[in-house]
Amino acid sequence: MTTHTDNAALAGALVPVAAVAPVTFTIPRAATLDVLLAGEIDFGNARAVLDQVRRAIRRRRPAVVHVDLAEVTYADSSALRMLAAVAAVAMEEVGASFAVRNAGPVVNRVIDLAGRSAELGRAD
């Protein structure tokens, strides 16, 4: 299993830590990309998070993409748009299956209020 936490290995460039939520990529098998998001994901950092995850998916071209939200403490509508964009890249560009995992009560409420449970393939 390979784990990348500084994002440079997959992203190709460092993004200032203050600008993004911590993102960890774990590749347990060659065909699966697990993305662990942590902290707050909102208007201020959702685009940078999306850029990092999108680059990882395009480089690795996995068959399965899981986004784990267990450590996300806050998410707004920008976070949901980011997750929808990640799902689109995974499914439409590389043909991968996509699922959101371990969303906590705060994130689940935002997902439910937006009516995006099915779109995000939530698998809690």
Instruction: Please state which of the ranges 2-11, 85-94, 95-104 shows the lowest mean pLDDT.
Output: 2-11
CB of 107 closer than 8 Å to CB of 82: no
Average pLDDT along the chain: 79
CB 62 within 8 A of CB 93: no
The pLDDT-based confidence of 52 (bands split at 50, 70, 90) is very high
**Fold topology of 2-114:** Transcription Regulator spoIIAA (3.30.750)
Tokens for 1? Answer: 């299993």
8-31 pLDDT tens trace: 334 333 333 344 566 666 655 568
**Longest Cα separation, the chain:** 36
Q: What percent of the chain has pLDDT over 70?
A: 69
The predicted pLDDT at position 3 comes to: 40
